[in-house]
Structure 1
Amino acid sequence: MTTYSEIKERLNIKIDRHLNDGFAALTHYWQNHTNGVSQYFKPSAKEYLQKEILSTVEDSEQLYIPFKFDVPFPPKTDFKFRFIDLFAGIGGIRLAYQNVGGKCVFTSEWNNFAKKTYEANFGEVPYGDITGINENDIPDHDVLLAGFPCQPFSIAGVSKKNALGRKHGFLDETQGTLFFDIARIIEKKKPKAFMLENVKNLVSHDKGKTFKVIRNTLTELGYSIYYQVLDAKHFVPQHRERIIIVGFRNEFFKKNESFEFPKLPKSKAKIKNILETDIDPKYTLSDKLWNYLQDYAAKHKAKGNGFGFGLTDLEGISRTMSARYYKDGAEILIPQENSNPRRLTPRECARLQGFPDKFIIPVSNNQAYKQFGNSVAVPLIQAVAKQLAKTLEENGK
């Protein structure tokens, strides 16, 4: 059977030139042409194919012909529920929910480098900036998923509220933030459930006011809310605390859902178990950088601060990896005998977040460090996903 890669080659689709909403519509149509939501993507997919693609090839193509997705994580054909993946990054949350029987029917991500990684692994290009996507153009779904950025909240003016035709209330307090886009989609599409992921400090941000607005908004939209700070160290060798917010629609569940956050297993992960062998010397810190990091740490230690590099215990776990890891690797350094320490390789970063080794890394090292630093710990999200899916199955009949 023809493959996804062969179709792209036949249509002369060079992915770096096609990370746009036109190709997003086409890949979304290809992944959903038989599951009842294809009408959301067909018009844009057809227009894009005819105007932007077919003019570059000799023969005309049908909008869809049977082919096999030759990507590491192809779309589900037999699924238990449908979900959408917002602020998708490189697809860590999607991967977790696919693994428990979910089918992704829509995805959005603004960063083109992340889109490239997402497409390489899932065979689908996310739509772009969520603020420009009309909620009416998003397919119906059972679960909304979002690892949304935390921004300062501002209260919109009455005139703007009136212009948008929205009632005054908590939903309007989130205008000007990306959480507002989650709220407006939930308000319109009314999914049975949602899961949101954010940094631990969301709970205490602005003396708790930010989280209060978020919680009140979601409650006002008709959902029972559950939240908990969970540490990925129970699944991967990394101390990584994140708040997980789960909601269930009262109109559907009647407040009778039986949801519990997963009981986390005893942490047995060790950093040594994710390390590669035969490491390229380029990952070893130069004398200049290593001396700088040591001097920097000594200076702050003298002041009573805890700032400084993290030389990781190979029998233990690491600090939290962040998107700044590409700068110097200081937060997670691997000791080496008779040599300066080294930073993790991109593949080791992937493993640190629980991505399987078949996950493709098609971008530069610097971009890969940013992407994995911004991503989620897949096994932790999957543990939550399993509980959410169980609740849907038990209470959603």
Structure 2
Amino acid sequence: MLYRFIDLFAGIGGIRTAFEPYGECVFSCEWDIKAQETYEANFGEKPVGDIRQVNEKDVPDHDILLAGFPCQPFSIAGVSKKKSLGREHGFLDETQGTLFFDIARILKEKKPQAFLLENVKNLKSHDKGKTFKVIMNVLEGLGYTVYAEVLNAKGLVPQNRERIYIVGFKNPLRFEFPEIPNKGPALYTILEKNVDEKYTLSDKLWKYLQDYKEKHSKKGNGFGYGLADLNSYTRTLSARYYKDGSEILIPQGDDKNPRKLTPRECARLQGFPETFKIVVSNTAAYKQFGNSVAVPVVSLIAEKMIQAIERNEILVGVKEGRLEYATK
């Protein structure tokens, strides 16, 4: 069976990429203009812009709703930034915190049989757990059986990337998140062979980063650049990578300054296929891949979701402390 799905807060289509083997995307929405360019180049359609302007009744009927809704109101960095600006965060943030409710109104109107939401790990602990509790209450109040788990991508791609995934079903279906391997591919396996010199840090920037790290280490802080271990995995790739690349630097030997990842290496770090087209500037590409999902993780979740739908094991009760399921 092929499933109809919609792609909200679509970014450059990482979640869509994982679900395409199972059906057809019938609607996409993404407000960032440069991300729209990348999305259109790869999927042949330009997403609708601001979701707040979308009438839920106009959204096509679909089986599965997908949404990597904005992280900033819930992430540690986002919260710190908003506090420093004297702005509210979470559900009190009028521009992004309430975007979750655009998902909720579409779920309420269209009643798809399943959904997958993705966000930063810190969503679960934000505001002492109150934010996450509100989200779960809303989803369950809409009649969904909801599962949530934090998964780390480092067993599938060479990157330490923890994200929370929230899966829901209109029927009380049996569902288990995939087991992610403890050890994945090494960083060197995704590096390009011949890299342009423009990715090597200038003497000035390299000295600045070294001085910055030394200054903070004397204060007992861990701030500073991250020189990657080519036989292991990297730190989390972030949207700020375009600034100086400091969180993931590639060593090039004692006689040469380290370098930044190339955009193609960032795509590989997130598990995008080699056929994925990068059509924007390096600055925009770094932002886009930093904001994206690790595609192989979502692929495993997609497989488990489709299996749960097709297996159709319904929770019928609890017996002697164990959940009991029956196939409808």
Shared fold by TM > 0.5? yes
2:274 to 348, 351, 357: 357
Q: Give the match for residue 125 of structure 1.
A: 46
How many Å separate the matches in 2 of 1:182 and 1:202?
16
Write the distance in 2 (CA, Å) between the matches of 1:350 and 1:264. Answer: 20
- Structure 2 CA distance for aligned equivalents of residues 90 and 268 of structure 1: 24
Q: Given the alignment, which residue of 58, 62, 70 partners 1:141?
A: 62
1:296 to 212, 235, 245: 212
Q: Secondary structure at the match of 1:242?
A: strand
Cα-to-partner distance string for 1:51-90 (whole Å, 9 max, x where unaligned): xxxxxxxxxxxxxxxxxxxxxxxxxxxx621110000000
Superposed displacement of residue 176, structure 1: 6.3
User: 2:193 is aligned with what amino acid?
Assistant: T
- Please point out which of 19, 33, 39 is paired with 1:97: 19
Among candidates 294, 297, 307, match of residue 377 of structure 1:
294
Among candidates 265, 276, 284, match of residue 200 of structure 2: 284
Inter-CA distance 230–205: structure 2 relative to 1 (3 Å threshold): same
Residue of structure 2 aligned with 1:234, choices 114, 136, 155 = 155
1:332 aligns with 2:270: no
Q: CA deviation at 1:392?
A: 1.3
Quick one: distance in 1 between partners of 2:96 and 2:304? 31
Q: 1:155 to 1:281 in 2, by over 3 A?
A: closer
Given the two structures, how large is their TM-score scaled by the length of structure 2?
0.88
Hey, what does 2:86 align to over in structure 1?
none
Whole-Å separation in 1 of the counterparts to 2:97 and 2:246? 34
Q: 1:390 maps to which residue?
A: 307
> C-alpha deviations, 1:93-138, integer Å up to 9, x for none?
0000013x12111000001100100011111110000010000010
Which of 262, 271, 275 in structure 2 is aligned with 1:345?
262
Q: What is the aligned residue count?
A: 296
In the TM superposition, what are the counterparts of 1:7-26 in structure 2 within 5 Å? Answer: none
Gaps of 5+ in 1: 1-78, 157-173
Letter in 2 for 1:221: L
1:182 and 1:210 mapped to 2: Cα distance?
15
Q: Which protein shows a greater Rg?
A: 1
SS of 1:296 mapped into structure 2? helix
Distance 1:299 1:355, change over 3 A: same
Question: Partners of 2:96 and 2:142 in 1: how far apart?
Answer: 15
Q: Does 1:307 align with 2:223?
A: yes
Q: How does 1:1-397 map to 2 (within 5 A)?
A: 80-99=2-21, 101-150=22-71, 151=73, 152-154=90-92, 177-249=98-170, 253=171, 255=172, 257-337=173-253, 338-395=255-312
Aligned to 1:72: none
4+ aligned runs moved over 6 Å, structure 1: none
Conserved 8 A contact 2:62-2:110 = yes
Q: Which sections of structure 2, spanning at least 5 residues, go unmatched?
A: 74-89, 314-327
Superposed displacement of residue 265, structure 1: 2.1
- TM-score with structure 1 setting the length: 0.73
Give me the whole-angstrom Cα distance separating, in 2, the residues matched to 1:246 and 1:264.
16
Counterparts in 2 of 1:262 and 1:176: CA distance versus 1, 3 Å: closer
Counterpart CA distance in 1 for 2:55 and 2:247 is: 40
Deviation for aligned residue 1:267: 1.5
Once the two structures are superposed, what CA deviation does each residue of 1:119-175 show, in whole Å capped at 9, x if it has no partner? 11111110000010000010111110000014311399xxxxxxxxxxxxxxxxx99
CA RMSD of aligned residues (A): 1.6
What is the deviation of 1:282? 0.2
Q: Residue 311 of structure 2 aligns to a residue in which SS?
A: helix
Higher RCO (CA < 8 A, seq sep 6+): 2
Report the residue type matching 1:225 in the other structure.
V
Q: Deviations over 1:29-51 (max 9, x none)?
A: xxxxxxxxxxxxxxxxxxxxxxx
CA deviations 1:344-389 (Å, max 9, x no partner) are 0000000000001110000000000000000000000101010001
Q: Deviations over 1:281-301 (max 9, x none)?
A: 000000000000011111111
For residues 327 and 287 of structure 1, do their structure 2 counterparts lie closer, same or farther at Cα, with a shift above 3 Å needed?
same
1:220-241 per-residue CA deviation (whole Å, 9 max, x = no partner) reads 1111110000000010000000
| Identity value in percent | 65
CA apart distance, 1:304: 0.7
Instruction: Find the aligned partners of 2:96 and 2:227 in 1 and give their Cα distance.
Output: 42
**Helix, strand or coil at the partner of 2:272:** coil
Aligned CA distance change for structure 1 residues 155 and 235 (closer, same or farther; 3 Å): closer
2: CA distance, partners of 1:227 / 1:359: 29
CA contact (8 A) 2:63 2:114 kept: yes
